[in-house]
Chain A
Amino acid sequence: MLGTYDIAIQVSELCFVTEEGVVVFEDLSFTLLRDEIKFVVGPTLSGKTLLLKLILRELYPTRGQILVAGRNILRLNSRKLAKLRERIGFVPYPPVILPNRTVEGNLRFKLRALGIKGEQAEEGVEKALSLTGLGPLKELRAYELGEAQRRVLAMAVAICNDPMVLLCDDPFRGLSPSDQATIMETLRSIRTGGIASLVTTDDPDLPRRSGFPDEAILSLRPGVVA
């Protein structure tokens, strides 16, 4: 029996129909546990990014329920949502980093902007650098990093304030197999830090090739016109 504290995200009977009448999701349900990595796979326009936006409440579903840390995000007022939102790390595609700042400077920028200072900030920086393996590169400017390292840096920025869950939008796109393996290793490492991950990709075989079981894969199909 799972308790509320074991579940990072719970999506129930989610429906989303676009203004043009395209049914993107129909009764989509899944659960992401706190120590889990789940892959959302599907072709272009299957709603992978849309799903992340719904979880971030940047868009509203037509119907259904989304619980993050046990709270129904559709019912939260903006102040409570902003508070909850700080517990969700998000890496968009393309990932956003600050190229002219150092690796560490990127993390500190976000932490200062969130009002996190002192010991808590130091811990956040240390943990993010440690989980992503960027510690030795912390003095480098972001523009000096390779493409895979930049994406890892974006993940470090997303987790430096110790969120409960990390949403990654297509972090493997356009990368070589070895770089994809780097990203996959980083996700595994982040999981050891107690952060669950929901990761989208349009390569349906990538999670299996990386040794993840079928239960870790959520397959989406392109939407159909109702």
Chain B
Amino acid sequence: MTRGLFILGELLRASLREWPRWLGFSVAVALVLASGSAMALLQGGRTGEEGGAAWVVVAYLSEEVSDPELNRLGWELWELGGVERVSFRFAGDELPGGGVAETRALLIWTGEEARALALNEEVLRLAQGKISDVEVIGLRFPAPARLPPLSRVISLVALVFFAFASLVLARSATVRTLAGWRNEWDLLRHSGIEPWILAGNFLGTVVLWGFLGCIFYVSVFLGLRGAVGGVPGVREVAPGYVSNGAFPYLVGFIVGPVWTVLAGIFSFLLSGSRSRGVTSEI
């Protein structure tokens, strides 16, 4: 264990001499995770929803209606055809679409204008003497915000680009670091230390630099969520970004390290024996 930590420490120190490349690799890993997250979380494209409409019949109650009568009336109104739900407002409560209820009111919700107009008369007939006034309010809901379909294509392109960039940077940093550590590598190999121990420590170095990128990603994700998570538009275009608390940790601390391990293996295998040193001639 001590031996492994010493070699890892020495390798990390050697990697600091190539810090711009390794930092580039860390940032590329963070961007891979960010573009992958964008692909997963952004609601892009057409949804088929044109927006919605609702009609509310507001029945203002007379002063003398008691609570039991109010309760019974509410259930009777709910049983009328086409009624989706019935709700209640105290005097002074806000009404749908703006305005304030002047007296207590029952709100009868339906989805069609014609049904709302018919209900207007039915309510007056059913609740004779208990209703002082009836009003019909039409509500229109805009279609939920969506990003253009191109946004997900861009996310995909970014994911591929940054994945490629992270591999290129990992390989470049690996080759440079190994070249600078070639004497140490050869000395340890000639001292009988098995190559898999050295390779394992090198992989550890790549993973630690990649993990730095994972921490960047999680920090920026959480920071941005704290800053813009309350914006309604953000909730509409990326509901998972706001609601899924585990997402950044899963991506940052599971997917990210897996990617860095793969990048490390890739870069190490492609670094070739030239940078790792070769044994002397036969």
Question: A: which residues have CB within 8 A of B?
Answer: 47, 49-50, 53, 58-59, 78, 82, 85-86, 88, 90-94, 96-99, 106, 109-110, 112-115, 117, 157-158, 161, 169
Q: A113-B191, A117-B2 are in contact. Are A94 and B280 (CB under 8 A)?
A: yes
> Of B3, B7, B187, which one neighbours A157 at CB under 8 angstroms?
B187
Least distance between A81 CB and chain B CB atoms (Å): 9
Least distance between B256 CB and chain A CB atoms (Å): 30
Determine the distance from Cα of A110 to Cα of B280 in the docked complex, in whole angstroms.
Answer: 19
B residues 152-211 in Cβ contact with A at 8 Å: 183-184, 186-188, 190-194
Can you list 7 residue pairs at the A/B interface with Cβ under 8 Å?
A: A85-B192, A88-B192, A99-B183, A109-B187, A113-B7, A114-B3, A157-B191
Determine the distance from Cα of A115 to Cα of B281 in the docked complex, in whole angstroms.
Answer: 29
Determine the distance from Cα of A115 to Cα of B187 in the docked complex, in whole angstroms.
Answer: 15
Q: Residues of A contacting B280 with CB < 8 Å?
A: 49, 92-94, 169
Sort chain B's interface into a size bin: 10 to 19
Least distance between A51 CB and chain B CB atoms (Å): 10
Q: Are A112 and B6 neighbours in the complex by a CB distance under 8 Å?
A: yes
Determine the distance from Cα of A125 to Cα of B188 in the docked complex, in whole angstroms.
Answer: 17
Q: Are B281 and A49 neighbours in the complex by a CB distance under 8 Å?
A: yes
Q: A98-B183, A117-B2 are in contact. Are A82 and B281 (CB under 8 A)?
A: no
B244 in contact (CB, < 8 A): no
Least distance between B183 CB and chain A CB atoms (Å): 5
> Of A59, A82, A88, A97, which one neighbours B187 at CB under 8 angstroms?
A97
8 new A-B pairs (CB below 8 Å) besides A47-B282, A98-B187, A113-B7?
A86-B191, A86-B192, A96-B183, A97-B187, A106-B187, A115-B2, A115-B3, A158-B191
Q: A82-B194, A114-B3, A117-B2 are in contact. Are A50 and B187 (CB under 8 A)?
A: no
B66 in contact (CB, < 8 A): no
Which B-chain residue is minimally distant from A82 (CB atoms)?
B194
Most-contacted residue by chain B among A47, A50, A93, A112 (CB, 10 A): A112
Determine the distance from Cα of A59 to Cα of B190 in the docked complex, in whole angstroms.
Answer: 14
Q: A49-B280, A112-B6 are in contact. Are A90 and B187 (CB under 8 A)?
A: no
> Of A92, A99, A106, A115, which one neighbours B190 at CB under 8 angstroms?
A92
Q: Are B192 and A110 neighbours in the complex by a CB distance under 8 Å?
A: no
Determine the distance from Cα of A88 to Cα of B193 in the docked complex, in whole angstroms.
Answer: 12
Q: Residues of A contacting B184 with CB < 8 Å?
A: 98, 109
Q: Are B194 and A92 neighbours in the complex by a CB distance under 8 Å?
A: no
Q: Residues of A contacting B281 with CB < 8 Å?
A: 49
Q: Residues of B contacting A90 with CB < 8 Å?
A: 190-192
Q: Residues of A contacting B187 with CB < 8 Å?
A: 96-98, 106, 109-110, 157
Question: B: which residues have CB within 8 A of A?
Answer: 2-3, 6-7, 10, 183-184, 186-188, 190-194, 279-282
Q: Residues of A contacting B186 with CB < 8 Å?
A: 92, 96
Q: Total A-B pairs in contact (CB under 8 Å)? A: 66
Q: Are A82 and B192 neighbours in the complex by a CB distance under 8 Å?
A: yes
Q: Are B188 and A110 neighbours in the complex by a CB distance under 8 Å?
A: yes
Least distance between A150 CB and chain B CB atoms (Å): 12
Which A-chain residue is minimally distant from B1 (CB atoms)?
A115
Q: Are B282 and A53 neighbours in the complex by a CB distance under 8 Å?
A: yes
Q: Residues of A contacting B7 with CB < 8 Å?
A: 113
Least distance between A165 CB and chain B CB atoms (Å): 12
Least distance between B252 CB and chain A CB atoms (Å): 33
Q: Residues of B contacting A113 with CB < 8 Å?
A: 3, 6-7, 10, 188, 191, 193
Determine the distance from Cα of A161 to Cα of B188 in the docked complex, in whole angstroms.
Answer: 13
Q: Residues of A contacting B279 with CB < 8 Å?
A: 53, 58, 92
Q: Are A114 and B190 neighbours in the complex by a CB distance under 8 Å?
A: no
Q: Residues of B contacting A88 with CB < 8 Å?
A: 192
Most-contacted residue by chain A among B6, B184, B282 (CB, 10 A): B282
Least distance between A109 CB and chain B CB atoms (Å): 7
Q: Residues of A contacting B192 with CB < 8 Å?
A: 82, 85-86, 88, 90
Determine the distance from Cα of A47 to Cα of B281 in the docked complex, in whole angstroms.
Answer: 10
Least distance between B142 CB and chain A CB atoms (Å): 67
Q: Are B194 and A78 neighbours in the complex by a CB distance under 8 Å?
A: yes
Which A-chain residue is minimally distant from B188 (CB atoms)?
A113
Determine the distance from Cα of A78 to Cα of B3 in the docked complex, in whole angstroms.
Answer: 18
Least distance between A106 CB and chain B CB atoms (Å): 8
Q: Residues of B contacting A53 with CB < 8 Å?
A: 279, 282
Least distance between B148 CB and chain A CB atoms (Å): 56
Least distance between B189 CB and chain A CB atoms (Å): 9
Least distance between B50 CB and chain A CB atoms (Å): 69
Least distance between B181 CB and chain A CB atoms (Å): 10
Determine the distance from Cα of A90 to Cα of B183 in the docked complex, in whole angstroms.
Answer: 15
